[in-house]
Structures are given as C-alpha cells and as structure tokens.
Structure 1
Amino acid sequence: MPSPKAPHILCIRFSAMGDVAMTVPVLLALTRQYPELKITVLSKPFFAPFFKGIQNVTFYGADVKQEYKGVCGLFKLYKTLKPKQFTAVADLHNVLRSNVLLSFFRLRGTKNAQTDKGRAEKKALTQQTNKVFKPLKSTHQRYADVFKELGFPVDLKGDEVLPKQKLSNAVYQALGNEPFKWLGIAPFAAHDGKKYPLELLDVLLADLASKKYKIILFGGGTKEQQLLNAFEAKYKNVVNVAGKFSFTEELALISHLDAMLAMDSGNGHMAALFGVPTVTLWGVTHPYLGFAPYMQPEKNQLKADREEYPAIPTSAYGNKVPEGYDKVMHSIKPKTILNRLIQILD
C-alpha cells in the first residue's frame, strides 16, 4: 500500500503587519511539537522576513491586490499553489478574499479550518451601551485553535521567540558604538485614536535623553519621517531610523533592542517576536480585545483612563473615535511611561 502523504498545511494570513506577525509564535510552537509537519505561509510578499529561518516553514508571497486580484485572480493563485501538495488549509484570516480562495480547496476535498475572529464578542466589548467588558481570547490562541481543529493541538508555552538577527554595517554606523541600552519608540499607528501625541512624546524624550539610552525612533512615510527628524535634531541620544533601512534591516535592529515602546500596532508585535520587553500604549483600543503582543506582562500594558473614557474600547482596530475621545492618549502620562521603561532598562 502507498505510504500516507506527509502532512503539509497551507497557512493563509494577509492583512496588517501586526496580524501577520502574531502567526509567528504559533508556527514556532507548531513546528517544534510536530517536527514532521510542513507549513507554507501565504501572505503579502513584504512579510517574508518574519518567517525566514523557521524550521519546516516556507513562504509564498502573493499580491492579491494586483496580480491575483478578484475571483479570477484568486483562482489563478490557487492553481499556482499546486493544491495537490497540501493535506490541509488553515485560514487564519477569515475574510471574503480568503474565503474565496478556501472554497477552491474545499471543492477538491482538502481538509480545512478557519479562525473564529469572535466578531460577536468584540462587538459586545466595543459597543457604547450595554458593553460587556471582559477579556477575550488572544489572537494567538485563536490561531492555535485552527491547527487544533486540523488535528494538531498547539501548546503555547511562552518561549516561542525568534533569535536575534545579524545587523548590517549600515545599522551599526547609524547607531554608533556607545555602551548604551537601546530603546525603540514607535509613536505612530494606523488610526489617530491609537497614536501618542507628539507634544507628550517630546516631554518623555526630554527625560529619556538625559539617561544612557540610545533612543531609536521608528515610523514610515514621508510625513512621519519629517516629524521624527525634528526629535533627532533636538536630542543628542535620539536616532530616527524611519525610511533609512530595508524591512529586513529594521527587523534585525528591533531584535537587538533592550526595550520597545509602541502603540497598539505592528512594531510592538515585531519586538515581541524576539522576546524584547514591549510596553504598549492603549488609546481607544484595549488589550481585552486579544491583540496584546505575545507574552508581554500586564504591567507593560499602559491603558487610557476608562473612568474618564468609559466607552473604551470604542472599536477593535481603533478606527472609531467618539465625540470627546480625541484626547484619550493624554490620560497616559509621560511620567507613567518613563517609570515603566526605567524599571525595564535599569
């Protein structure tokens, strides 16, 4: 009799950087516990560096907004993926695009499972009236549940981190060789309700710049680069790396940080991938939604004042800011942030 096919799972996760980064600890745990298992990750080409070097994990980059756009494009992608090689499909996205792609595999009888995004629970947690304020399952666990449904239960132990990556000469030259602790700060996010006010960041930097830290500012886009350049010019131990390095170089730099200060955004998740102590500032969102960086303690989750702003969280992604909630981040004082960072770094 022919031998059974070795298990090979196609793992689908497009979307935002943080969502894709959160798959990494789960895949690390999965491949450790099932060394015979092969995984192919299907995502945006830009995210390939997340998965480099993970045992038994290969990456397939697909541009689903151009080359594989629409139903016809997704069918073309399905054929390109050589569907016979996969014994199962794990849809960690569960949106229209991934559902269409998954339907082609279902038609050929491929075993499959999809993440439960907890949409009803999140709606109850984010509604302004009759809010059900309780912690929801983490996104990492939701991903793990998909593999359990496929027959591969995953135990997330908390030690699933990537090794530090090699720094390029360009990064070394930009940061210098002072014997300082490296503190990353990423003050921006996709939505205004999750960004830390620059005037408060200025207050924080004034205190941090007097200490023996190398403060490394992260951002993206021309406008953010210009805003961060002003802080670099103002404070001697501050370096703005926005727009200066490739994504691979920036990821390697993050892996060498001694601490990261980030918003509810991708930078915090990237730091957590390497076990970097990560302090997250939560504005109109909240860690109860399940998007906290991997295995970061509660004391690293600095939240806006819910007594003053009881509608928090106002949405799952921070794109809804009710009237009167435009200053929620002001309730997280620079002194509070400073004290937590000093506790970590010193």
Structure 2
Amino acid sequence: MALNRNFSGNTENLELDKEVHILVIRLSAMGDVAMVVPILAEIARRYPKVKITMLTRGFFKPMFSHISNVQVFEADVKGKHKGVFGLWKLYKELKALNIDQVADLHNVLRSNILKLYFKIGNIPFVQIDKGRKEKKALTSANSKILKPLRTTHQRYSDVFSQLGVSVDLNEAVSLPKQPLTEKVLEVVGQPSKKWLGIAPYAAFPGKMYPLDLMEQVVSQLDTSKKTKILFFGGGHNQRRQFETWEKKFQNCINVAGIFSFEEELALISNLDLMLSMDSGNAHLAAMYGIPTLTLWGVTHPFAGFAPISQNDSNMLLSDRDEFPLIPTSVYGNKLPEGYERCMATITPATVIAKINTLLGKTV
C-alpha cells in the first residue's frame, strides 16, 4: 500500500507497490461533488493501480462514469443508512469491499461517525481541513481579513497527499466531450451556432444576478442571432421563467427538467461557454474543460470555490467599494440589508462584452 519513493523528483515516476483501494467520501452538494471529479480523473491518470470507491448520492453517479478505476457507492442516508445504526450498516457494507484507506472530503457528522467505525478496523482515515477559522475571518463583518484562501480543489488534494497520492492541479485533466442522444438533438438541434449555456439561478438570492438584468443580457445576445442560448436549472419556478424567455426570444431553448442528468451532462460537455452564478453548474462545465464565466454576488472566489482551470478574468465580481461586507458568507446565505442588488454593479454590458470575448465574436 505504500508508495515507492525511489524517484528523482519526478512524481510521474511514483509507483504503488501494490493495488490500493481508497474510499472517497463526499455526499453533497452538487457543486462540491463536481469539484471532486477533476481530482479523481488526475489520480486515475497518474496512478492506474489505485482503485477508488466514491461514496456519494446515487444521483451524482453519472459525473464519475467516465473515470477509469472509479466506482460509485450510493449512500442512502434517508433510508437504510440513516442514523447511527444505519451508518454502522453502511460501514459494514464498505468494509466488505476491502477498503485500504479513506479520504473524507466532507468532514461532517455522518463522516465523523464513519471515522469512528473505520478506526475499529485500523484503516487510515484522513479528513479535509475546511479552514473554518480563516473562512470566518474572510467573511467577518467587523474584522475582515480579505485574502485568497486555499481552494477547495487544493484542500481535496491535501487529503490525498496525506494518503501518499500526490495530485498536481496544474496537470488536472478534463473529462472528454460526450455524445448527444437523439432526444437531446431533437430539442437543441445541430450546433450550427455557438452554444452558450446560462444557469442564472443559485441556492441563495445573494448569489443570483437580477433577472431583469439577465434578461437584458439574453435579449442582446438573441438579437445577434449568432448564439444559441440553453437555459440550465431546476425547479418549477425556474422552468417557468425559462419557458417565458424561450417564447420571447428566438434563439433560446429551455433544457431544464427535460433530460436525464446524464443527458444534461453530455449537453454541458458540448457547450462553447457556460455563464453561471457561484453554483454547481459552473463546476459541472469546468470539469469538462468548458470556458466558464461566473458572476459573484455576496460570495467571493477568495473563499476557494472558483471553478477549476478558469482564468481570474472569467470571474466578474460585485463592487466591494460599494459593498465592502462582501464576502458576507462562504455559501451566500447571509444577505445584509441593502445588498439585495449588489450584483447590479456588474452591468449587462460588461457581461456581454466578456461573453463575446470568450466566444471570439462580436454581437
């Protein structure tokens, strides 16, 4: 299980002296799970003898289906794996897989209980350092320390390094473009224009670009007739908004709630550009190497949740001179009074100009 470290400074020469089976724990949320994908893809490339079991929600399984040596084990935390006794059952099921090491990329109550169980079996168990203290300082209203923290990708990599598996994020590989099903092609058509994905929603209002301004962006892009706009999201209200835009604008298509998650991922892998908030869709696009333009409200890239392998200029930030409390929280769940439209400081003209630059065209 140990690494052969007889090499001359080149990590590409690292070889495992036998096959190693690593359990990776990251149960939710979608964006956080998507950020695991490039790490595992790089490990699979560098260490073909490493076998990985990814413990997560069953819904996320398609994210990992194209990475060699990775299998997904579904955590049924609302059913048979619920509670302390359910987690003991989960531990027994996992132990039967002959796990050698555990990389806990979640570090929550459930995984801490699993840690206790794995200690019984004397199985190495390394947990992520979430940097809670420094993130608290970053988001403090009174004594803010504004500086870039280690990214989530780096924190994930740190866990594997402690297990003897090094990850070079500069060498992280993107997932390959996936073929589109007939159903998808029937809805979106052939790619005769640039395909722009837009995911305008987020978990919290403070992370969401005002819809009236987003409509201005959509309207101007639609007028150019050079771009096909595909709306991504979920939920009844989001789909209703997308359907309204689809009827109003000629070159817009709602794809929310129409396809399976696997089909939606394949569609994302074929985009020319994704425009997203600080949300899961940004990470889904980035894991395929798609240029990803993100808009930031009361959160900030300094907290470490920027999509992987994206230039800093692809992140448009709200004006901190006008809204100095930004970032107000790590996840965007704290919206101070008066900050409701902080993202309006990112003008539609700025967004459109950046889109045109990334697509290599002019409206």
Shorter-chain TM band: over 0.9
Displacement, 1:152? 1.2
SS of the aligned residue for 1:210 comes to helix
SS of the aligned residue for 2:327 comes to coil
Is residue 307 from structure 1 mapped to residue 321 from structure 2 by the alignment? yes
SS of the aligned residue for 2:183 comes to helix
Query: 1:50 aligns to what?
Result: 63
Displacement, 1:268? 0.4
Unpaired segments ≥5 residues, structure 1: none
SS of the aligned residue for 2:223 comes to coil
The whole-number CA distance in structure 2 between the counterparts of 1:286 and 1:255 is 26
CA contact (8 A) 1:261 1:278 kept: yes
- What is the aligned counterpart of 1:38 among 38, 42, 51? 51
SS of the aligned residue for 2:78 comes to coil
- Deviations along 1:40-90, one digit per CA (max 9) or x if unpaired, are 100000000010021111111122122211111111111112356011000
Query: 1:204 aligns to what?
Result: 217
Query: 2:20 aligns to what?
Result: 7
**Correspondence 1:279-294 to 2 at 5 A:** 279-294=293-308
Structure 1 residues 153 and 70 mapped into 2: Cα distance closer, same or farther (>3 Å)? same
State the TM-score, normalized to the length of structure 1.
0.97
- Deviations along 1:292-321, one digit per CA (max 9) or x if unpaired, are 001100010000000000000000000000
Is residue 273 from structure 1 mapped to residue 264 from structure 2 by the alignment? no
Segments of 4+ moved more than 4 angstroms: none
The whole-number CA distance in structure 2 between the counterparts of 1:206 and 1:84 is 53
Structure 1 residues 83 and 149 mapped into 2: Cα distance closer, same or farther (>3 Å)? farther
Aligned residues: 343
SS of the aligned residue for 1:251 comes to helix
- What is the aligned counterpart of 1:111 among 110, 113, 124? 124
Structure 1 residues 111 and 188 mapped into 2: Cα distance closer, same or farther (>3 Å)? same
State the TM-score, normalized to the length of structure 2.
0.93
The whole-number CA distance in structure 1 between the counterparts of 2:190 and 2:146 is 47
Structure 1 residues 84 and 243 mapped into 2: Cα distance closer, same or farther (>3 Å)? closer
Is residue 296 from structure 1 mapped to residue 324 from structure 2 by the alignment? no
Displacement, 1:158? 4.3
Query: 1:22 aligns to what?
Result: 35
Unpaired segments ≥5 residues, structure 2: 1-16
The one-letter amino acid of 2:194's match is: K
The whole-number CA distance in structure 2 between the counterparts of 1:160 and 1:47 is 19
Identity %: 54
CA contact (8 A) 2:298 2:342 kept: yes
- Deviations along 1:111-166, one digit per CA (max 9) or x if unpaired, are 11000000001000001111000000010010000010011121112441000111
Structure 1 residues 108 and 216 mapped into 2: Cα distance closer, same or farther (>3 Å)? same
- Deviations along 1:260-310, one digit per CA (max 9) or x if unpaired, are 000000000000011100000000000000000011000100000000000
SS of the aligned residue for 1:157 comes to helix
- What is the aligned counterpart of 1:214 among 228, 231, 235? 228
The whole-number CA distance in structure 2 between the counterparts of 1:87 and 1:41 is 14
